[in-house]
Amino acid sequence: MHWAFSVGLRVRLAMTSRLKFVRNAALLLMVFAVPAWAGSINSYTFTTTVAGVQNTTVTGTFIYNTSTGMFSTGSLAFKGNSVFGGLHGSYNKSESGLSFVLNVKAGNITLQYLISLNPQNLNQFTASGTITRSSTTGTFSYALMPEGGTPFAYLISAGVVIFGGILLTGFRRRTQIRI
C-alpha cells in the first residue's frame, strides 16, 4: 500500500507540475498574441498599370486606422511616358467606413479614385480610378486578395505547433537498467 500511494502521489505531482507549465505557456502565448490582434494603423501600397495609355503605371498609398475605422492620408504617383507621366499628389482627407472616395478636378485634370476594404479581412482591398487630362482618359484597378484565413487562424495554428513542441520536449525518457 505504501508503494502504491507513493507512485500515485508522484504521478499526481508530475501531472500538476505539467499542467502548471502548460497553463503558464498558454498565458505567455496569449500575452504575445493579443497585441497582434489589437487594432492599429495600417499602411497600404499598390502599383498597377494604367489602361488607355501606353507605358504608364500608378503607385498609390493610403493609411487606415483599424481602431477608429478611418482613412486618413494617401498619395498617387503616375510614372511613364504618357500624358499622365510625372503627375503625383497627396491628399489628407479623413473618411470613416470601409470605403474611400476621392474626386479631384485641377485645371484640365480630373481624378476619380475609390478604395474598398474587405470587411472580413482588412488586409484585402481594391483600389480603382479614372484620370482624365484634356481628352486622354486612363483607368486603373488593383485588387489585393491574398489566399488564406484571418490572422487569428494563423495564431491558432502557430500556438498548436508551439504547444506540441513544448509537450514533446516535456516528456523525458526514463530508462531503467535492470541487472
Q: Give the containing element (helix H, strand E) for 156.
A: helix 151-170
User: Which residues in the chain show pLDDT less than 50?
Assistant: 1-9, 11, 13, 36-37
Q: Residue 153: what are its φ and ψ, rounded to 5°? A: -65, -40
What is the model's pLDDT at position 175? 58
User: Could you give the CA distance from residue 78 to residue 63 in angstroms, rounded to a whole number?
Assistant: 19
Residues 26 and 34 sit within 8 Å (Cβ to Cβ)? no
Residues 117 and 100 sit within 8 Å (Cβ to Cβ)? no
- pLDDT tens for residues 4-13? 444 444 545 4
Could you tell me the pTM of the whole model? 0.60
- pLDDT tens for residues 33-62? 555 445 577 899 999 999 999 999 999 999
Tell me the domain boundaries of the chain. 41-144
Torsion-angle region of 130 (φ positive above 0: left; ψ -120 to 50: alpha; else: beta): beta
Closest residue by Cα to residue 115 from 52, 48, 174, 33: 48
Cα-based torsion angle of the residue sequence 77, 78, 79, 82 in order, rounded to the nearest 10 degrees: -160
What is the model's pLDDT at position 64? 93
- Chain centroid to Cα 36, Å, comes to 9
CATH 1.10.10 fits 41-144, yes or no: no
What is the model's pLDDT at position 130? 95
Dig out the grid coordinates for 123 from the structure: 488586409
What is the model's pLDDT at position 47? 95
